[in-house]
């Protein structure tokens, strides 16, 4: 898929724009309006915040923003209009499996918070509900692994028609 050709990971904290990336207005705007170093940081932020394969993909949105800012910028970073546009463009091309994976990861963050906040001394505590949730966690993690595998396989597949790669970007 061409989406995987937008940004190449250089190391764990940096990405580089590809020639294809520079043909997409939202990414070209970043490269044209900032120094090379700053553009790389902003494109890295886009990748780490949006891509399902990012090393930060399992974090909830706020924690992900904090961790990515610290790793990429070394400080807090306020997202500007260029990065917002690039993130919207990146997310606009999510497949249904990618969208489901992002939603599943988000819901797991809420489940984690709920489990951490359980107070067994509270009179409203329901041990049956608690045990039922714990029993189904294995199924949940297996389902998440299956969805991650489907997204990985989907990313590797490239359909061709007449020797030309066909996907969302080339339709």
pLDDT recorded at residue 46: 93
Strand 159-161 relative to strand 164-166, pairing: antiparallel
pLDDT value for 16: 83
Q: Is the pLDDT of residue 154 over 60?
A: yes
List, for residues 35-79, the tens digit of each pLDDT value: 999 999 999 999 999 988 888 988 888 999 999 999 999 999 999
Domain extent for 140: 96-170
Number of domains in the chain: 2
Q: Which of 29-33, 96-100, 132-136 holds the top average pLDDT?
A: 29-33
pLDDT at site 157: 64
Residue 140 and residue 84 in one domain: no
Q: Quick check: 54 and 79 in contact, CB under 8 A?
A: no
Helix, strand or coil, per DSSP, at residue 131? helix
Whether residues 60 and 123 share a domain: the answer is no
- pTM for the complete prediction? 0.76
User: What is the model's pLDDT at position 166?
Assistant: 43
Are 88 and 7 within one domain? yes
How large a percentage of the chain has pLDDT more than 70? Answer: 86
Q: What is the full DSSP assignment across 140-155?
A: HHHHHHHHHHHHHHHH
């Amino acid at each position: 898929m061409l989406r995987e050709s937008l940004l190449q990971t250089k190391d764990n904290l940096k990405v580089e724009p590809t020639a294809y990336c520079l043909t997409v207005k939202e990414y070209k705007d970043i490269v044209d309006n900032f120094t090379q170093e700053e553009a790389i940081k902003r494109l890295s932020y886009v990748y780490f915040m949006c891509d399902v394969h990012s090393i930060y993909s399992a974090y909830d949105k706020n924690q992900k923003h904090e961790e990515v800012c610290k790793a990429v910028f070394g400080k807090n970073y306020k997202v500007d209009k260029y990065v917002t546009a690039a993130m919207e463009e990146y997310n606009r091309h999510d497949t249904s499996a990618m969208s489901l994976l992002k939603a599943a990861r988000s819901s797991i963050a809420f489940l984690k918070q709920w489990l951490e906040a359980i107070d067994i001394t509270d009179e409203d505590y329901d041990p049956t509900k608690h045990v039922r949730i714990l029993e189904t966690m294995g199924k949940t993690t297996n389902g998440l692994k299956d969805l991650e595998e489907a997204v990985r396989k989907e990313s590797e597949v490239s359909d061709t028609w007449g020797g030309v790669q066909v996907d969302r970007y080339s339709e």
